[in-house]
Amino acid sequence: MNDFALTPLWTDWMIWGLIASFAYLGVLVRRSRQVAQQWMRIFESKLAMISAMILCIYLLIALLDSIHFQTTSAQQMTVHQSVLDKVFSHLAVGQERTYSAPFASTEHTKSLVVNQAGEMQQLRLPLKHIRQDADFSMIGQTLSAFLFASVLSGFVVGWHLLWRSRVHQCPFKDWLNQVLLGKTRLPWRTAYLTFWGLLTLFCWLWVMSHSVHVLGTDKVGSDVLYESMKSIRTGVLIGVLTTLVMLPLALFLGISAGLFKGWVDDVIQYIYTTLNSIPGVLLIAAAVLVMQVILSNHPDWFSSTEDRADIRLMFLIFILGLTSWTGLCRLLRAETLKLSAVDYVTAAKAFGVSRMTIIRRHILPNVMHIVLIAVVLDFSGLVLAEAVLSYVGVGVDPTMHSWGNMINQARLEMAREPMVWWSLFSAFIFMFVLVLAANLFSDRVQAVLDPRNQSDQLTR
Amino acid sequence: MLTYIIRRLVFAVPILIGVNLITFALFFMVNTPDDMARSQLGAKQTSAEMIAAWKQQKGYDKPLFYNEKQPGLAKFYDTLYVQESLKLFWFDFGQADDGRQISADIQQRMAPSLAIAIPTFVIGLVTNIAFALLIVLFRGSVLDTATMVVAVAIMSISGLFYIIAGQVLFSKLWHWVPISGYAEGWDSIKFMILPVMIGVFAGLGAGIRWYRSLFLEEIHKDYVRTARAKGLSEIKVLFGHVLQNGLLPILTGVVVVIPTLFMGSLIMESFFGIPGLGSYTIDAINAQDFGIVKAMVFLGSVLYIVGLILTDISYTYFDPRVRLTA
């Protein structure tokens, strides 16, 4: 009999809490016609649509990896894993002995073995967890993955087409025609193609990973594809959750400074100038060093290495959040200063509307574009920063899956003969796709939401 | 002018005190000397006497801000804050864990850091501005779009990738330059080429985008229209007028960086084995040497504040509209 219990980590609570609050915010904001229009304009761009879908895939994987549960089997073996581990369970178990190249059938390095005749021989040993039987064909597997993904995406796209044509109250045939010709306001054709492409890629990776190590294995024989997938959670969490810590601070302090002026303004300005004048990496490094000492002196805070890594990740997110709110705070202060002199705010003050109501009704909606731009801009920087921090030794726990740790462990492998390039390559590619998508998307968000860009676009 | 500079310097003092307090809070209050002793001595052997001995040896056996046992002024003087943190103000950084003088180490390591940082900074600035002007000249064309795409791609790749890829290509495969190391004098050039090139390239994406938008903002102004109206060629307009007027906003971004060049680059130096301040900091972080990290945090803040003051001064110097009394 299998016992099943959810065992969420601290960061799991945080990310799901954040998703829930964003969803709530989304529902609130949907009521506003103007905001809905702005979002439409963001997604009018094909690039923005594609990058948003890629970002969604990353987020989805991170979320799947944030549902942790444990199962106790009949043999009293307790397994602690996430949904993602379950999906790729064949990779988690499929440990080899050491390095092997992508798609290889033997190990990367030769080892000394005694053959049947009793002679010592230098051989590349065959890998354990791949299919070596004769009826295995890579092309056949690829084709089946392709077919499966096509059929599945066909269903999803068909259903979506039907739904959109209902919404637009347009006959299905006409709507289909418009989509195919790319004449719809939102680039649905591009979206469907991207969906199909991503689904095919995912299915292919999943099918192939049963038979070969698609991205090879690393020094201790773990599958690199699995490592890279597991790293997604760390990267996305650092990028997203830091926002959660930073936003309330920046919003509260920035708006108070701009609205109350006087000594409040002076104090808040002093705080952020001081924090800002400490070089970012050094402040983070100093804080993380201190955190390490605290953690090593409180072994009772965590029961397992996983818990320890998780608490460390949470601390890192807090540290990153506490050191990165100053930029946004300064922008918000300036904007609030400007807004507090605007006629409708003066009028509201004259009518005796309370400060909180003014903030809620007039200030917050009018600084939201700044907040949004800052959040999407910061995301890519934080993902990149994780790698650098882990390299410096002040990033996430060394036992945690992360691109920074992968790079850190693999960087000396380039010096080997022949080169072991796949670990590094995979980490960089996974990071590059995420950061590129985030950069492209944030460019579009900035172009649409930043009022300064409006005139620029007209003249160009 | 002199009074202005003095006034700015005086304003910097409270900020530095704030920085000092933050580092003090981090290293002595959040994480008390007892904690430090425990983690330094290892978990097994943490008897109270050993901790006390370690603290006495380090000079950490004092109260934080107020020492009741001492008479008179020494009540304030003989405390951890004054003894350990306030002395940073006269750049007395104390000893590292291995007994070396931190100030001497820093002085010695500044030169290699600057040898990498200054060329990277100067060449990077010139290339960024040159590329940006070129693209502004061809704005709206395919070249413009293509360069912007490449710029986003360059921005999206981790800096670690450039370093590793550069080392593999230029040193390991083609043997053009040594992989890492450092030498005194002119011999150092062969060690410097690769880090400088990589540094310039890694900054190219963000740099081009930044200066392009800066020049594009400039190009819609009235004086540009006037210049065109009087029949100047586009090149003359760009290099003669737009560049000159764009220098002012460029100045703000640039001057503030100059003093922090002293700090060197953490990653670049440790990858290329350059004995500068960046690798010094990394080594200290890995060895958990709080004294050095504390010193570098303070030094970095001082240099940043110097940069801010220099920015303001250069503003008043180059832009006659800025009044000194501000």
Q: Does A382 touch chain B (CB under 8 A)?
A: no
Lowest mean pLDDT among A12-16, A144-148, A416-420, B63-67: B63-67
Give the pLDDT score at A459. 39
Of the listed ranges A136-150, A300-314, B46-60, B198-212, the least confidently predicted one is B46-60
Confidence of residue B44 (pLDDT cuts 50, 70, 90): low
Q: What is the mean pLDDT of residues B156-166?
A: 90
Complete domains list, chain B, with CATH: 112-318 (1.10.3720.10)
Burial letters B164-184, b for 16+ CB under 10 A, else e: bebbbebbeeeeebbbbebee
pLDDT, residue A456, reads: 46
Per-residue pLDDT tens digits for A79-90: 778 888 888 887
Q: What is the pLDDT of residue B125?
A: 93
pLDDT of A23-47, one tens digit each?
A: 888 888 777 788 888 888 889 888 9
Asked if B152 lies within 8 A of A392 by C-beta distance, the reply is no
Amino acid occupying residue B77: Y
What does the pLDDT read at residue B123?
Answer: 95
Banded model confidence at residue A433, pLDDT cuts 50, 70, 90: very high
Peptide bond into A418 cis (omega under 30): yes
Residue A322 contacts B, CB cutoff 8 Å: no
Q: Which helix (H) or strand (E) holds A113?
A: strand A111-114
Tokens of A217: 């294995």
B162-187: average pLDDT: 83
Asked whether the predicted pLDDT for residue A460 surpasses 60, the reply is no
8 Å CB contact between A215 and A290: no
Chain centre to alpha carbon of residue A335: 29
Structure tokens at B177: 């330059």
- Region of poorest pLDDT, from A146-150, A151-155, B69-73, B275-279: B69-73
- Residue A297 contacts B, CB cutoff 8 Å: yes
DSSP 8-class letter at A70:
E
Packing angle, helices B290-318 and B277-286, rounded to 10:
150
Q: Which CA distances in Å does A437 have to A292, A382, B153? A: 33, 14, 10
Nearest Cα to B137, choosing from B248, B31, B46, B243?
B243
Residue B313 and residue B256: Cα distance in Å, rounded?
11
Strand partners, A72: A3, A78
pLDDT at position B219, please? 86
Strand (E) or helix (H) holding A79: strand A78-82
Closest alpha carbon to A246 in A359, A136, A128, A330: A330
Which residues 150-189 on chain B approach chain A with CB closer than 8 angstroms?
A: 152-153, 155-161, 164, 167-168, 172
What is the identity of the amino acid at A376?
Answer: V
**For A67-112, what is each residue's pLDDT tens digit?**
888 887 767 777 778 888 888 887 777 777 788 878 777 777 777 7
Average pLDDT over residues A295-322: 85
Tokens of residue B223, six digits: 């004086």
Percent of the residues in chain B that have a pLDDT greater than 90, as a whole number: 13
Tell me the two tokens of residue A363.
Answer: 């200030």
CB-based contact (8 Å) between A123 and chain B? no
Of A2-16, A51-65, B118-132, which range is least confident? A2-16
Judged by DSSP in three states, A120 sits in: strand
Which uninterrupted H or E stretch holds A123? strand A120-123
> Are the beta carbons of B18 and A439 separated by less than 8 Å?
no
Query: Which of 1.10.1660.10, 1.10.3720.10, 3.30.428.10, 2.60.120.10 would CATH assign to domain A232-459?
Result: 1.10.3720.10
Whether residue A275 has pLDDT greater than 80 = yes
Provide mean pLDDT across the span B88-114: 82
Q: Is the pLDDT of residue B324 over 60?
A: no
Cα–Cα distance, B24 to B301 (Å, whole number) = 14
- The residue ranking higher by pLDDT, A8 or B67, is A8
What is the secondary structure of A177-208 as a DSSP string? Answer: HHHHHT-SSS-HHHHHHHHHHHHHHHHHHHHH
**Which comes out higher in pLDDT, residue B290 or A347?**
A347
Domain with CATH 1.10.3720.10 in chain A: 232-459
Residue B159 with chain A: CB contacts under 8 Å: 384, 388
Question: Could you tell me which residues come within 8 angstroms of residue A305 by beta carbon, excluding any fewer than 6 positions away?
Answer: A397, A399
What integer is the mean pLDDT of A197-209?
89
Placement of tokens 């637009």 in the chain: A168
Please give the ipTM for the structure prediction.
0.85
A282 and chain B in contact, CB less than 8 A? yes
Residue A129 contacts residue A91 (beta carbons within 8 Å): no
Q: Give the integer Cα–Cα distance in Å for B27 and A289.
A: 9
Residue-level pLDDT at A217: 83
The pLDDT of residue B323 is: 61
Residue contact A428–B140, C-beta within 8 A: no
Report the run of H or E that residue A283 belongs to, with start and end. helix A280-297
- Report CB contact under 8 Å: A407, B158: yes
A252-261, A338-347, A447-456, B130-139: the lowest-pLDDT one: A447-456
Residue B259 vs residues A293, B104, B265: alpha-carbon distances, Å: 32, 19, 13
Rg (CA), chain B: 25
- Alpha-carbon dihedral of residues A423, A427, A428, A429, nearest 10 degrees? 100
A382 membership: H or E segment, kind and range:
helix A364-392
> Percentage of chain A with pLDDT > 70?
96
**pLDDT category of residue A156 using cuts at 50, 70 and 90:** very high
**Residue A61: what pLDDT?**
92
Structure confidence at residue B72 as a pLDDT band (50, 70, 90): low
Closest CA to B257 of B221, B214, B311, B218: B311
pTM (two decimals): 0.89
On whether the CB atoms of residues B267 and A388 are closer than 8 A, the answer is: yes
Q: What is the pLDDT of residue A107?
A: 79
Tokens of A32: 């506003």
Give contacts of A405 with chain B, Cβ < 8 Å.
none
Contact (CB, 8 A) for A370 and A335 = yes
Lowest mean pLDDT among A163-177, A206-220, B215-229, B311-325: B311-325
> What percent of chain B clears pLDDT 70, i.e. is strictly above it?
90
User: For A349-391, what is each residue's pLDDT tens digit?
Assistant: 888 888 888 888 888 888 888 888 888 888 989 999 998 888 8
Chain B positions touching A239 (Cβ under 8 A) are none
Q: Give the pLDDT score at A59.
A: 93
The pLDDT-based confidence of B43 (bands split at 50, 70, 90) is low
Query: Edge-to-edge strand order for the sheet containing A68-72?
Result: A3-6, A68-72, A78-82
